[in-house]
Structure 1
Amino acid sequence: MWDLLVRGGTLFDPLTGTERRGDIAVHQGRIAACGSDLTGAQAAQEVDATGRLVTPGLVDIHAHLWSGGGYWGVDLAGIAWRTGVTSWVDAGSAGAFAMSALRSAVAASPVSVYALLNVSAVGIPGETGENRDLENLRVDIGHAEGAAHGDFVRGVKARMDKRTVGDHGVEPLRRARELADRLSRPLMVHIGYGPPTVADVEPFLREGDILTHCASGSPTDLVTSAGISPALRKIAERGVHLDIGHGSGAFAFDVVETERVAGLTPIISTDLHAVSAHGPAFDMPTVMEKMIAAGWSMADVFTAATSRPASALGLDAGTFDVGARADIAVFQVEEDEHQLVDLHGSSRVAPLRITNVATIAGGSLLPPVAPQPAPSWVQLSTRQRDVWDEQRAELASTSAPRLSEASDFVEPYPRDHTPTTQETSHA
């Protein structure tokens, strides 16, 4: 007898982009069998997936998961169970000084959690500015702590925008490059309002690295009226992974569409944090719906949220192979035209609604957990706060509210604009 059986679903294989009817059996937290010949199988627990899409657990390589550890941290327990995401990567919340604390904070999570080591030893305790003090950008300390945490640390993170680096230009990035090389790990670079510009960042990126916020409307040199910029083309042709990192300031429909026409296929991630979890990012299924609204196929979207991010960071995830960790997501995918907005008030109509109905992590079906309210310092629109307060009890059994009007949200990062010191920074 198996421990758990997901029965009767349509199985999606991200490696081939194909679907087939089948069942998945789980034993001792691992996939024990997968196929169409399990009709007579018995299990201690069953999940009826009839008429639903069954995929490997989703993989989100850009989120901020240290709830209570700083400005951006989000409560993972109230989100993971209703989104299908079973592998998460905290993207730079902690540096060398606090990596042990972050690891302890997520150790009991039923989902798989990894981290990118911030080049700044202080990590991101506040809204921004961690790279302004070069005294904290100690490659030797970062190397020692990164090596000590082994496979928990999957790479190095550096935020490169004007507010984060101050007058130091690309010096923080130079140190991040050195740290990543010494750890033999990929480097994830955040871009935003420059300088540094994308062209400034380009020479430091190598094959296997990750450029996050690649569909942002804030940098002026990602795309132009003629298509993608020369700097972005160089980065993509070099084998650098492009990453969506939606967040609260890094998703513009027209940029996604321009990049799609140019043949670019980014990894899909949420940059989920204390602000973006309240919209318009909300969660991984919502970001996936936005990519479909921008012209992506459903198969490409699920691949970009499973096997591709897992491969980018070498994670044991994104597959139904026998013996793999039993991370499984079950979705109701329905034809349902609905409006979604980006971060600048532009909207598109998504033809499909993707609703997670079961999330299985390490062979265990995750139970409902109500999400935590936004911290006091998070600036939400009145509509966001009212809806969240009204529906929080319902969120213990349903997915997040999907506000859909541009007026429902604030726009923290206007396009073609130089931010003041009072304005926020996406993470």
Structure 2
Amino acid sequence: MSYDLLLAGGEVIDVGGGHVGRLDVGVRGGRIAAVAPALPRHAAREVIDAGGKLITPGLVDLHTHVHPGATYWGIDPDSVAWYSGVTTWIDAGSAGAYAIDSLRAAVSGSQVRVAALLNVSAVGLTAPDGESRELANCDVDLAAATLAANRDLIYGVKVRMDRKTVGENGLEPLRRAITVAEAAGVPVMVHIGVAPPAVDEVLRLLRPGDVVTHCASGLAEGMFDGTSIAPAVAGAHAAGVLFDIGHGSGGFSFDVLEAQLKAGVTPHTISSDLHARCLYGPVFDLPTTMTKLLAVGMPLEEVVAAATVRPARALNLPGGIGTLAVGARADLAVFALEEGAFELVDSHRRGRVADRRLVNEMTYVAGRALPPRLPPHPKPWIPLTGAQREALLERDRRVRELLSAPLIGVDGLAEQYPRSTD
């Protein structure tokens, strides 16, 4: 058998495909052709020595916002994907019924795969919050028809349940989201935050397979009393509600997560909630979020599964997404697992130190390496600290300096047009 690409001798963690250990990965025609030890090097057009590196399926980020042209929160996924290893991005409710066509157009040219959760509010996330304060926006029939007409793009329903978003409407937006989801046979992802409503009220309505994102939130009332998690939280977890990290700007606290882990309430999925505010910190990217889970003691294999096959299965994504199963599209990520002492912070500037971190070295989509792509500047409405602004300016300066200097000197050149001599 011949291969277009062979990643040789890496430490593979592919829980969904059943491949864990020191293995080679062969790619042909943009799909996984073989995962096995000692595949023949001579049969490959390109061989990459992955010795000492970690090879995973392309990461699947269950909670992101990637609609930059029409929402407050959206970012360009391609400019982050190439250095983070995320090849499947789930846009979590940026678009409701009014903007789903716009979202489709926005992601149609993306190099990465984008799937969506439909916001139960037709107006979606055009503003920082408040999309469900006017209950008429949460039109069940309109949302159900939109979902039915876009099943190739939409894999679930999103609703934000916090004081700023629902106003005086209490649990009704969630009830409507569940009605829409039940009609289509898809899960609901529910954002929890500052009450009302309280966490136990929200969890009481969720079904097995529904997703509660920001599961380690320090803002959600009724999650954590300072020493232990609430019985309703443990009960929902045991009943099959899927707990998703959804880090974001305000949805992740180390102390809450550690209390959950102590109680056996392990997050099912690890997502970043990457958007235009937290892109510059405290989230930065999904590998940094995964490193935070390593810092509190989750095993590496479980962390990788929670950012690959588990989110793919939570939404019933097709085609072997999140795995290196033979025949699946060859979306891969290559990481260095660096050792040291790495300071990390949660959404409330509380720190932990990790003794290792994941650093992406290459990202492949359909067997092709994603090229570097400079990120756009933040939108004018995104609040940044002085330090963040200075860091962005310094990054621009360093990139300009790197690209404006001659790449190599005379010793690295060949004579491209030799002069003839008599």
Whether TM exceeds 0.5 here: the answer is yes
In the alignment, which residue of structure 1 is the partner of 2:215? Answer: 214
In the alignment, which residue of structure 1 is the partner of 2:294? Answer: 292
In the alignment, which residue of structure 1 is the partner of 2:356? Answer: 352
Q: Describe the shift of the 1:213–1:154 C-alpha distance in structure 2 as closer, same or farther (beyond 3 A).
A: same
Matched residue type, 2:266: T
Counterparts of 1:102 and 1:279, CA distance in 2: 25
Counterparts of 2:111 and 2:330, CA distance in 1: 12
Counterparts of 2:222 and 2:69, CA distance in 1: 35
* Deviations 1:58-83, CA, capped at 9 Å, x for gaps: 11010000112110001212101100
Report if aligned partners of 2:122, 2:143 keep a CA contact under 8 Å in 1. yes
* Deviations 1:327-381, CA, capped at 9 Å, x for gaps: 1100000111111111112110011021100001122110000111211111111
Counterparts of 2:69 and 2:386, CA distance in 1: 24
In the alignment, which residue of structure 1 is the partner of 2:392? Answer: 388
- Work out which of the residue numbers 320, 323, 332 in structure 2 matches 1:328: 332
Counterparts of 1:81 and 1:359, CA distance in 2: 6
Q: How far did residue 47 of structure 1 move?
A: 2.9
Matched residue type, 1:382: G
Counterparts of 1:93 and 1:300, CA distance in 2: 29
Q: How far did residue 9 of structure 1 move?
A: 1.2
In the alignment, which residue of structure 2 is the partner of 1:149? Answer: 150
Q: Describe the shift of the 1:392–1:23 C-alpha distance in structure 2 as closer, same or farther (beyond 3 A).
A: farther
| TM-score normalized with structure 2 length | 0.91
Report if aligned partners of 1:17, 1:299 keep a CA contact under 8 Å in 2. no
Counterparts of 1:393 and 1:208, CA distance in 2: 47
Matched residue type, 1:128: D
Structure 2 counterparts to residues 398-409 of structure 1, below 5 A: none
Q: Does 1:182 find its partner at 2:202?
A: no
In the alignment, which residue of structure 2 is the partner of 1:109? Answer: 110
Question: What is the SS of the residue equivalent to 2:336?
Answer: strand
Counterparts of 1:40 and 1:165, CA distance in 2: 58
Q: How far did residue 303 of structure 1 move?
A: 1.3
In the alignment, which residue of structure 2 is the partner of 1:376? Answer: 380
In the alignment, which residue of structure 1 is the partner of 2:229? Answer: 228
Report if aligned partners of 2:61, 2:86 keep a CA contact under 8 Å in 1. yes
Report if aligned partners of 2:97, 2:118 keep a CA contact under 8 Å in 1. yes
Structure 2 counterparts to residues 84-95 of structure 1, below 5 A: 84-95=85-96
Q: Does 1:257 find its partner at 2:281?
A: no
Q: Describe the shift of the 1:395–1:145 C-alpha distance in structure 2 as closer, same or farther (beyond 3 A).
A: farther
Q: How far did residue 128 of structure 1 move?
A: 0.4
Matched residue type, 2:357: R
Q: Describe the shift of the 1:73–1:383 C-alpha distance in structure 2 as closer, same or farther (beyond 3 A).
A: same
Counterparts of 1:223 and 1:299, CA distance in 2: 27
Counterparts of 2:95 and 2:51, CA distance in 1: 42
- Work out which of the residue numbers 305, 316, 323 in structure 2 matches 1:319: 323
Counterparts of 2:72 and 2:243, CA distance in 1: 25
Report if aligned partners of 2:213, 2:245 keep a CA contact under 8 Å in 1. yes
- Work out which of the residue numbers 252, 275, 283 in structure 1 matches 2:285: 283
Question: What is the SS of the residue equivalent to 1:385?
Answer: helix
Report if aligned partners of 1:34, 1:322 keep a CA contact under 8 Å in 2. yes
Question: What is the SS of the residue equivalent to 1:144?
Answer: helix
In the alignment, which residue of structure 2 is the partner of 1:139? Answer: 140
Counterparts of 1:296 and 1:16, CA distance in 2: 21
How many residues matched? 397
Question: What is the SS of the residue equivalent to 2:255?
Answer: helix
- Work out which of the residue numbers 310, 332, 338 in structure 1 matches 2:342: 338
Using the aligned pairs only, state the percent identity. 48
* Deviations 1:183-239, CA, capped at 9 Å, x for gaps: 111000000000011111122200110000001111121122452212212211110
Question: What is the SS of the residue equivalent to 1:301?
Answer: helix
Question: What is the SS of the residue equivalent to 2:5?
Answer: strand
Question: What is the SS of the residue equivalent to 1:24?
Answer: strand
In the alignment, which residue of structure 1 is the partner of 2:76? Answer: 75
Report if aligned partners of 1:370, 1:392 keep a CA contact under 8 Å in 2. no
Report if aligned partners of 1:370, 1:395 keep a CA contact under 8 Å in 2. no
Instruction: Flag the structure with larger Rg.
Output: 2
Report if aligned partners of 2:249, 2:282 keep a CA contact under 8 Å in 1. yes
Report if aligned partners of 1:14, 1:318 keep a CA contact under 8 Å in 2. no
Matched residue type, 2:201: D
Q: Does 1:124 find its partner at 2:137?
A: no
Matched residue type, 1:319: T
Counterparts of 2:349 and 2:68, CA distance in 1: 29
Q: Describe the shift of the 1:178–1:62 C-alpha distance in structure 2 as closer, same or farther (beyond 3 A).
A: same
* Deviations 1:313-340, CA, capped at 9 Å, x for gaps: 1123121110111111000001111111
Report if aligned partners of 2:248, 2:347 keep a CA contact under 8 Å in 1. no
Aligned-pair RMSD on alpha carbons? Answer: 1.7
Report if aligned partners of 2:253, 2:346 keep a CA contact under 8 Å in 1. yes
| TM-score normalized with structure 1 length | 0.90
In the alignment, which residue of structure 1 is the partner of 2:420? Answer: none
